[in-house]
């Protein structure tokens, strides 16, 4: 088998040497470049398995090179070498598609880990592309982002309404990245009773408390070498938030009743349907933890923003149920395309399951779908002429709709929504309360 080939870009000969030496010890061949132009020339000529680049180069910067690679050599994993403590640049590089970063001064053990992860990225991923269905622009963009963030080790926070597929996205990130062979451990933070939380997360030693009859590993330890997915992270009590922050920062855990800490190697993904930024503003969520888990944020769009994807998803659900979309008559299809789906894909699945089970003559009409709510807001605006009889009610409806829309467009960030509406934050808060908007 050929030796893997890496490209090292740094204008300092000493660092190039050191990197080449480290790679050589790992049986990886290294090509060297001193600036962006040379790097681009080499990338155009050879197929590299990995690329390590410094940030400051004589004829440009590493971020531009990361961007260039995403377009011109998209399969090549690239890691950037950043000045010590320059978190901002590192995060920018990750967002542009770098899979990881290494801080100066170079720590050789860390460097080796990064290189090993990069090489694993080249191995064929077991992920099945069809799992996150949808051809709409937001879904295509989401899939592209998943591919990019999967390569990195950075924490990703997945936000989006209930039932949009956040857990599915987390699984895809895990399956498409270098930890795919490691465990994926999903945890519903809202489902663990507060008094058991510490021992569930971190494990315990025999005799640590009544009922601890044997040593038990925690969820964090069972995710070692893989991914810990913290679903509904907003439900973590503040006391656990502090402890989790420590795990993320130090990559160590201490089981309840244990004297020593244990080292772990985990990637953290998290999700919630709530607005964490608002929770931070209200002191319900720790700001330091928020910044730690939210290095990269992925938004899973609600089903109503995915256009015709609803029919594609419906087809998939029907097939899974052993039926076909041909059962849906024209009225039912039309309703699926216009309905708001507050419960998103999960609601679609439940709705079709019920309709297939209960339908009598092999055909499903719109009334068999038992839609709970009015169609999408844009179709549901009350007609102006009907308003004359109840002007106050009409104005409230229009106001409510404008506020809900602004909130949705700003991902429920009240400050941004208020700005959009030309209201002060207080005015918006008052109106939300008055109109009973949840």
Which positions lie near ligand ATP, rule CB under 6 A?
132-134, 160, 162-168, 231, 273, 313, 345-346, 349
CB of 153 to ligand ATP, least distance (A): 22
Name the residue nearer to ligand ATP (CB basis): 138 or 183. 138
Return the residue nearest ligand ATP (CB atom). Answer: 165
Cis preceding-peptide flag for 381 (omega within 30 of 0): no
Smallest separation, CB 58 to ligand ATP (Å) = 45
C-beta separation of 158 from 292 below 8 A: no
225: nearest Cα among 181, 271, 286: 181
Output the smallest distance, CB 328 to ligand ATP, in A.
18
Q: Closer CB to ligand ATP, residue 160 or residue 255?
A: 160
- In angstroms, what is the minimal distance from the CB of 94 to ligand ATP? 23
Residue 62 or 134: the one with the smaller Cβ distance to ligand ATP is: 134
Q: Select 28 or 233, whichever has its Cβ closest to ligand ATP.
A: 233
The phi-psi region of residue 136 (left if phi > 0; otherwise alpha if psi is between -120 and 50; otherwise beta) is beta
* Cβ nearer to ligand ATP, comparing 269 with 335: 269
Q: Which is nearer to ligand ATP, 99 or 341 (CB)?
A: 341
> How far from chain centre, in Å, is Cα 199?
27
Q: What share of the chain is helix, strand, coil (3-state, %, to 5)?
A: 50, 15, 35
Q: What is the dihedral of CA 319, 321, 327, 333, to 10 degrees?
A: -80
What are the counts of helices (DSSP H) followed by strands (DSSP E) for the chain? 18, 16
102 vs 133, beta carbon nearer ligand ATP? 133
DSSP state for residue 243 in the 8-state scheme: H
Nearer to ligand ATP, 125 or 387 (CB): 125
Instruction: Identify whether the C-beta of residue 219 lies closer than 8 Å to the C-beta of residue 263.
Output: no
Asked if 303 contacts 345 with a C-beta cutoff of 8 angstroms, the reply is yes
Q: What's the closest the beta carbon of residue 143 comes to ligand ATP, in angstroms?
A: 9
Q: How far is the CB of 232 from ligand ATP (least distance, A)?
A: 7
Q: In angstroms, give the least distance from the CB of 165 to ligand ATP.
A: 3
Joined together, the tokens standing for residue 75 give: 């399969």
Distance CA 165, CA 346 (A): 8
Distance of closest approach, residue 145 Cβ to ligand ATP, in angstroms: 14
Q: Would the CA dihedral through 143, 144, 148, 151 be positive or negative?
A: positive
């Amino acid at each position: 088998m050929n030796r893997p080939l890496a490209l090292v870009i740094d204008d300092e000969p000493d660092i190039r040497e050191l990197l080449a030496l480290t790679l050589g010890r790992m049986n990886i061949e290294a090509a060297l470049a001193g600036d962006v132009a040379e790097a681009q020339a080499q990338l155009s000529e050879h197929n590299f398995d990995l690329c390590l680049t410094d940030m400051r180069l004589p004829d440009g910067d590493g971020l531009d090179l990361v961007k260039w690679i995403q377009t011109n050599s998209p399969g090549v994993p690239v890691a950037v070498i950043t000045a010590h403590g320059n978190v901002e640049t590192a995060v920018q590089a990750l967002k542009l598609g770098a899979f990881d970063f290494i801080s100066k001064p170079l720590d050789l053990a860390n460097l080796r880990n990064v290189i090993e992860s990069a090489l694993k990225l080249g191995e064929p991923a077991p992920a099945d592309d069809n799992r996150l269905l949808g051809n709409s622009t937001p879904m295509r963009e989401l899939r592209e982002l998943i591919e990019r963030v999967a390569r990195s080790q950075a924490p990703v926070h997945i936000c989006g309404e209930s039932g949009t597929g956040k857990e599915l996205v987390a699984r895809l990130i895990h399956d498409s990245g270098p930890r795919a062979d490691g465990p994926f451990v999903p945890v519903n933070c809202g489902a663990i009773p507060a008094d058991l939380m510490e021992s569930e997360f971190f494990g315990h030693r025999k005799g640590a408390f009544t009922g601890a009859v044997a040593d038990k590993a925690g969820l964090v330890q069972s995710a070692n070498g893989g991914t810990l997915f913290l679903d509904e992270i907003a439900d973590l009590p503040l006391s656990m938030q502090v402890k989790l922050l420590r795990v993320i920062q130090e990559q160590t855990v201490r089981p309840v009743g244990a004297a020593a800490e244990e080292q772990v190697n985990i990637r953290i993904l998290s999700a919630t349907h709530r607005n964490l930024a608002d929770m931070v503003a209200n002191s319900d969520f720790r700001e330091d933890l928020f910044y730690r888990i939210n290095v990269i944020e992925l938004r899973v769009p609600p089903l109503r923003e995915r256009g015709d994807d609803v029919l594609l998803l419906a087809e998939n659900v029907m097939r899974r149920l052993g039926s076909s979309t041909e059962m849906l008559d024209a009225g039912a299809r039309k309703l699926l395309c216009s309905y708001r789906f507050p419960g998103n894909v999960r609601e679609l699945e439940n709705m079709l399951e019920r309709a297939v089970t209960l339908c009598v003559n092999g055909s499903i009409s719109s009334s068999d779908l038992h839609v709970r709510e009015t169609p999408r807001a844009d179709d549901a605006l009350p007609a102006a002429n009907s308003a004359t009889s109840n002007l106050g009610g009409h104005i409230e409806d229009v106001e409510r709709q404008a506020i809900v829309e602004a909130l949705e467009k700003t991902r429920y960030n009240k400050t941004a929504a208020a700005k959009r509406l030309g209201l002060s934050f207080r005015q918006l808060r008052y109106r939300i309360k008055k109109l009973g908007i949840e």
